[in-house]
Copies of this chain bind each other. A is one copy, B any other.
Amino acid sequence: MGEKKKALIIVDVQKAFDDKKWGERNNLEAEENIRKILQLWREKGWTVIYIQHTSDKPQSVFHPKNEGVAIKEIVKPMDEEVIITKKVNSSFIGTNLEDFLKLNGITTVVITGLTTPHCVSTTTRMSGNLGFDTYLISDATAAFGMKDQNNTYYDANTIHNVSIATLHDEFATILTTEQLITDFIKAH
């Protein structure tokens, strides 16, 4: 990733995703992998941006009055780190994320977080389309199983893998946590 300025984006790693209503999830290691990347990022002094989902609906697990809105302890933000709240899937819609990146001269973004098919995929698509050099860390995100409009069920691994396959080479460079860390240790 050379000498260009880079940000780690951590999307929606919130307690709300521990709710049983989401069903089967793949890659339970996602949070631990994000923690490892975050630690490296902090050691380097690079920019960390947390994205936090909120909902205006009182019954939502993401409503500010619900403890689910909190970012998980394992990647708890430090005081000086940036938290951007959003109300839709894309971290770029209704937020100042694009302006923040541009004003800070950040041209490379590394995306991690929850969940692969929804907020992570949408954020990755817009990041690539907006011209940022975009990396998605495949094992630092996770999916839940889901049903389609005909009630056909797709398991969490299928949702995760196909979501990433459709982003690969079109919107982002896909790396594992190990590949990212090895690359960074070599490059910096």
Contacts from A to B (Cβ < 8 Å): 88-90, 93, 117-118, 121-122, 125-126, 128-130, 138, 146-149, 152, 154, 158-159, 161-166, 168-171, 174
In whole Å, how far is A184's beta carbon from the nearest beta carbon of chain B? 18
Given A158-B162, A159-B162, A162-B162: A148 in contact with B168 (beta carbons within 8 A): yes
Cβ contact within 8 Å between B90 and A125: yes
27 CB-based A-B contacts, threshold 8 Å: A88-B128, A89-B129, A89-B170, A90-B126, A90-B129, A93-B126, A93-B130, A118-B166, A121-B166, A122-B125, A122-B126, A125-B125, A146-B165, A146-B166, A146-B168, A147-B168, A148-B165, A148-B168, A148-B174, A149-B164, A149-B168, A154-B162, A154-B165, A159-B165, A159-B166, A162-B163, A163-B166
Chain B residues contacting A118 (CB-CB under 8 Å) are: 166, 170
Chain B residues contacting A163 (CB-CB under 8 Å) are: 162, 166
In whole Å, how far is A156's beta carbon from the nearest beta carbon of chain B? 12
